[in-house]
Structures are given as C-alpha cells and as structure tokens.
Amino acid sequence: MPNRRALIGGAAASVAAAVLVAPHVRAQARPGVVVVGGGFAGASCARALKQLDRDLAVTLIEPEAAYVACPFSNAVLAGLRDIEAQTFSYDQFDDIEFIRRRAVAVDAERRRVRLDDGEDIDYTRLVLAPGIELRFDALPGYDEAAAESMPHAWKAGSQTLMLRDQLAAMPDGGVVVLSAPANPFRCPPGPYERASLIAHYLKTSKPRSKLIILDAKDAFSKQRLFEAAWQELYPGLIEWVPLSSGGRVTEIDPATRTLVTEFGSHRADVANVIPPQRAGRIAQLAGVADQTGWCPIDPVTFESRLQPEIHVIGDAVIGGAMPKSAFTANAQAKACAAAVAALVRERQPAQPKLINTCYSLVAPGYGISIAGVYQPRDGLLAEVEGAGGTSPLEAPSSVRELEAAYAEDWFRTITREVFG
C-alpha cells in the first residue's frame, strides 16, 4: 500500500475535521471492501475498486498462491497448450491487501468475514466471487474419491492434467465418455469445446477411438455450429446422446469406470464426468444462495437478494440471461465495483450495461463465438433485444481462423487486465 503514509497523515489531520462533522464520523469511517475469491470475478473486482477510488481499503481473500484459468484449458487436454499458459500469480496486486486464506464464515449482521485461521475481517461491503462448487452429492457414485480416477476437470489445475494424461495413455480404439450436466452450469459451451478438442486429439493421434457425450439436456450453446463442425472435421467420431435419447447419467461406478443412464450403461476407457454444480461454498455459508444453490442478486448493484451489504458476482450468480463465463465474471466485476464504490460514498449507483463474448475452439485455427449485451429489466439482467447471437453457420474458413485468433488474444488481454 504505497499511499499508507498519506492516508495516516490524512487520518490525523481529519481528526480535527471530525470534530466539526461529528454526527457523520461513525457512519463514514474509512470504508473497507472485502472481496472473497481471486478468480476472474473477484480479482477483477478488487482491482477495479482500487482504480475507481484509491482511498478505499480493498482486501482480497484467496487461499491459493496462483490461479489456473479454465478458458483454454481444453486445449491443454488435447496437448495443444501448456498448463503454465493457464497459470497466473497474485504478485501484481500491490495496492490491494491480499490475504492468502480461505473464508469460512460470514457474519452479515456484524459485517465480518471469518478466515480459516480464526481471524475476523471487518467490512463495509462484502463482494463474494466464490465461483462454483462441484456437487459430489448429486450423481450417485461420483464423489471426490471418484474424481481421482474419473476427472471432472471443471476446475483447472491437477484435474486438467489428470484428464490429459489419461487421454495420452489410452490405447488407440478406446472409448472416451464425457457426461454433461443440466443447466445452469459453468461455461455452457465448455463441454462441447472439450469434446471438439478431444476429438481433434483422437483424430490426429488415435484415429480408431470414439467419443460419446452423455447429456442431461436436449439442447446446448452454439449447438448448430458445433454439430456442423463435428460433421465436417470429425465425422463418425463424436456421438452426442441427448436427454431424450437417454443421455442423462444417473449413476457412476468408479471401480469399472462405468456411467449408467436410464437407457443403459457405458464403460469408458477414459471418463470425464462434469457433475452438477452450485455456487461456491462460502456463498452457501453466508446465506446468499437460495434453494437452487445459486445466488439471486439485484441487477444494478449485484447486492444479494438475501443478505444486505453482500454482493455476489461471477459464476455463483443467477437471475438473468448472462451465461457463466470468464468474460461475464469480469464484466460483472467491473459493474459491481462501480456500484459498490458509489454505495460506500453514499452515491447513487448507475444502471449498468454488460457484455458477454465467449469463444470456443472446435479445432486449432477454427473458432466460433457467442455474444450478448445485457441490462437490468424487471429485476433481472436481461438480454438487449436485436443484439448478440452466434457466429454465422455458413462462413469461410478465414472467418473461423480470425475467431480462433481473437479467442487467443481475448485470453491474453483479459488475463492481463485481471491478474496484471
């Protein structure tokens, strides 16, 4: 905190001023905003708060020493990218107080966060950016132990490497089974980008192999684009089994690596189980998640509908049309920071307008996208009509190449903005 000396000087000088404005002093003590979670949402929000108002005391609570980003982690699975390219340290948060701890409780009444070492941190306003928790109670047989042999790889890091290594060790002619959850979940096009890049790997390295997607739904993001590309690039390699054809997985047997559906069972050589999800644990503990497991928010301020002075951003949020993506998390974080910075100074927050842009790689040099513009309407973040949509179904390869290049540069730009 390079401006600490200036602040202390200011604090001392203001004691005299405080006498003159005594009735305001207690309510207007130096505001402190605590952000829990150092992913795309939380790290963006902490940084944006400091940029908006450098006299705010901003604290970021995050247990990990580095962040491993999910966007582009499917390229790691396919051997197209190193995990190091996904990994970002928290070294570039100099003017933010970084506490490397896990938040384990929130006392909304006293406005206090409890850390896993027992310390309490007071806040004026709290921003929760907890991401997702994988529900290990939702699919019978799929618990944390099962994830050690049948990886989810839905939080990037060791799980990503495990799935990559299993694919690399699989003999040619093997069967990869990927199970995709019902909505809502983190990164709606993610399972299908993953299927595409695994198919690319199989086609180039293990061409007699097959990939089956067992899906708990009948439609998915960018579906027509993915299906057209699969037809063109990977004919006969990917089989998508939708809900209506018995795609929903009802049980997992880790001992035999078998996924059971209502219509039968699939024994996999490599199984990637993407289980149902809910808002990250601290959201449940803080009482900001509802019966769906996700967090309803005010679309202008991102303040929880369930607890005052607690804001929620990123994948943990429901209440509108914005998909759970890194771009959304970053955009919500900046809008939330503006609202929080206004609220702590007792100003009126402005109506936000947000964008989501989400690229998927179907193969190296073949990118597709979906975009949307959002604003508050009827208490929700609603899509602006007439805007948004996906890449065209018919397009020359130059357009796919351009979108693949944009995808890469988007990742470079956003991670630079978020992590410094």
Partner 1 sequence: MTSHDMRHTKNRRGRRSLTPVLPVLPVLLAGLVSSATAWADAAPPGATACTGCHGPAALGSVIPSLDGRAADDIVAQMQAFRSGEREATVMGRIARGYTEEETRAIAEWLGKPEATRHAKP
- Closest distance of CB 405 from partner 1, Å: 5
284 binds partner 1 (CB under 8 A): no
Q: CB–CB of 42/62 below 8 Å?
A: yes
- Residue partners of 9: CB distance under 8 A and separation at least 6: none
Among 357, 360, 363, 366, binds partner 1 (CB under 8 A): 357
Q: Report residue 156 as tokens.
A: 């990037």
Among 134, 150, 331, 363, binds partner 1 (CB under 8 A): 331
Which CB sits closer to partner 1, 12 or 145?
12
33 binds partner 1 (CB under 8 A): no
Which CB sits closer to partner 1, 196 or 369?
369
| DSSP label of 131 | -
Identify which range of 127-135, 162-170, 240-248, 402-410 contacts partner 1 by CB under 8 A.
402-410
CA distances from 309 to 107, 116, 124, 343, 363 (A): 11, 22, 7, 10, 44
Q: CB–CB of 259/266 below 8 Å?
A: yes
Number of residues that bind partner 1 (CB under 8 A): 75
Calpha distance 86→378 (Å, rounded)? 38
Question: Which residue matches tokens 């390219």?
Answer: 85
Identify which range of 197-205, 213-221, 284-292, 405-413 contacts partner 1 by CB under 8 A.
405-413
Binding to partner 1 in span 44-63, by CB under 8 A:
47-48, 51-55, 57
Q: CB–CB of 191/75 below 8 Å?
A: no
Q: CB–CB of 177/259 below 8 Å?
A: yes
Among 149, 345, 365, 393, binds partner 1 (CB under 8 A): 345
- Closest distance of CB 415 from partner 1, Å: 10
Among 63, 173, 308, 389, binds partner 1 (CB under 8 A): 389
Binding to partner 1 in span 97-156, by CB under 8 A:
97-100
Q: How far is CA 304 from its chain centroid? A: 18
CA distances from 339 to 125, 243, 298, 333 (A): 11, 41, 11, 10
What DSSP letter does each residue of 310-353 carry, written as one string? Answer: EEE-GGGEESBS--S-HHHHHHHHHHHHHHHHHHHTT-PPPPP-
For 417, counting Cβ atoms within 10 Å of its Cβ (0-12 exposed, 13-18 middle, 19+ buried), the class is: middle
- Closest distance of CB 348 from partner 1, Å: 10
- Closest distance of CB 8 from partner 1, Å: 7
Among 73, 196, 307, 369, binds partner 1 (CB under 8 A): 369
**Residue among 130, 138, 133 at smallest CA distance from 286:** 130
Q: CB–CB of 301/181 below 8 Å?
A: no
Which CB sits closer to partner 1, 258 or 375?
375
Among 87, 254, 375, 379, binds partner 1 (CB under 8 A): 375
Among 64, 82, 92, 169, binds partner 1 (CB under 8 A): 92
Which CB sits closer to partner 1, 3 or 292?
3
Classify each residue of 393-416 as buried b or exposed e, where b means 16 or more C-beta atoms within 10 Å of its C-beta.
eeeeeeebeebbeebeebbeebbe
- Closest distance of CB 93 from partner 1, Å: 9
- Closest distance of CB 365 from partner 1, Å: 13
Among 171, 352, 365, 380, binds partner 1 (CB under 8 A): 352
Calpha distance 69→267 (Å, rounded)? 30
Which CB sits closer to partner 1, 59 or 272?
59
Q: Report residue 372 as tokens.
A: 């949307």
Among 207, 351, 365, 393, binds partner 1 (CB under 8 A): 351
13 binds partner 1 (CB under 8 A): yes
413 binds partner 1 (CB under 8 A): yes
393 binds partner 1 (CB under 8 A): no
- Closest distance of CB 393 from partner 1, Å: 14
- Closest distance of CB 338 from partner 1, Å: 6
Which CB sits closer to partner 1, 260 or 382?
382
Q: How far is CA 293 from its chain centroid? A: 15
**Residue among 115, 68, 65, 70 at smallest CA distance from 91:** 65
Which CB sits closer to partner 1, 110 or 235?
110
